[in-house]
A and B are shown apart, each in its own frame.
Chain A
Amino acid sequence: MPPDAANTPAARTDPADWVDAHGDPLFAYAMRHVGDPELAEDLVQETLVAALAARESFSGRSSERTWLTAILKHKIVDHIRRVCRERANESDRTAPEPTGDLFDSRGIWKKIPDPWPMGDPAHVLEQREFRQVFENCLAKMPDTLAAAFRLRAMDEFQADEVCQVLDITPTNLWARLHRARLLLRGCLERNWFDGKAPEGSL
C-alpha cells in the first residue's frame, strides 16, 4: 500500500471498504439529525450507493470522508424536506395559536414550570437515559417542529440554512422553534425531571 493511501481518490478504492473506513462516522452523523437507527442506516446506504455511482467525478481534492459526508448531508436534507412536505399537506396549514394551550387568556402560565434539579448539569445530563427521553420527546413532537429544532439545535445548520431546507421564512422558523422549545420543556419535565428535584432547587 502506498504511504499516501489515506489520500487515495475514492475512484481507486474498493467501495465496500468505505463501510469500514467511514460507516460509523456517517451513521453517527445521520443519527444526530434523524434519531432513528433504521432510517439512519437507510440514509447511509443511499449515500454510499450515490457515491458509488458518482465516484468517477470525485476529484480527490477533499478527503473521502468530507466527500461522503457532503453527500449524506444532502440525503438528510432531502429526507427532512420530504417528511415536512407530507406533513404540511396532511395537516391544516392554518396552525392554531401556537401557545394558547399553555397560557391563559391574559398570557399567564396555566401551569407554572416546575423546579428542576440544577446541581451539576453534567451529572444529570450525562446519564444515558436522558438521551433516550430527549429522543422520545422529539419523536412525539409534530415532525415540522422536530425537524426545525433538530437542524438548529444540533448546530450544524445556521438559521438561514434551516429556512432554506424547510423552505420557510425566518419568522416561521422562530415560531416553530418557540413552539418546539415549549413542548420539549414540558415533555422533559413530565418524563425526566418530574419528582427528581431536590429541596431548594430552581
Chain B
Amino acid sequence: MSFGKTIIRVLTLSCSETARLLSASRDHDLPRAERLAMRLHLIICKACRRYERQLALIEEAIRRCQEPVATTLTPEARERLKRTLRDP
C-alpha cells in the first residue's frame, strides 16, 4: 500500500472496521497499514478501546474457566456407561 493510501486508511477507519481488525488480530497477523490504522483509531476512540479490553477480558475468562460447569459423571451416568460396556 502506498504512503498516501496508508494515510487515508488511517484517517478513515470506522469503528466497525476497527472491531473487525481487533478480532482479526487475535487470529492472524495484520498487514502493517491496517495495524497502524487500528492503533491510531484506538487512540481517539474510547468505545473501541473498551471493546479491545473486553475482548481480552473474555479470553482471560475462558482461560480461567477451562473447567466446565460439570466436570464429573454423575453416579447414574457412570452406571449407564458400565452397563453399555458390559453388554454392548
B71 touches A107 (CB 8 A): no
Instruction: Flag if B54 contacts A125 (CB, 8 Å).
Output: no
Residues on the A chain within 8 Å of B17, using CB: 107
Q: Which of B2-10, B31-39, B61-69 contacts A (4 or more CB under 8 A)?
A: B61-69
* In the complex, residue of chain B having the shortest beta-carbon distance to the beta carbon of A122: B64
The count of residues in chain A whose C-beta lies closer than 8 Å to any C-beta of chain B is 60
Main secondary structure of the interface of A (DSSP, over half): helix
A44 at the interface (CB under 8 A from B): yes
Given known contacts A15-B85, A113-B54, A202-B50, is B19 in contact with A178 (CB within 8 Å)? Answer: yes
Q: Are A107 and B73 in contact (CB under 8 A)?
A: no
Our pick among A19, A103, A152 for the contact of B82 (Cβ within 8 Å) is: A19
Bitwise interface map of B from 24 to 58 toward A, beta carbon under 8 Å scored 1, else 0: 10111000000000000000001111110111011
Pick the 5 closest A-B CB pairs, nearest first.
Answer: A107-B14, A31-B68, A103-B16, A178-B23, A107-B16
Residues of B within 8 A of A (CB): 14-17, 19-20, 23-24, 26-28, 46-51, 53-55, 57-73, 77-78, 80-82, 84-86, 88
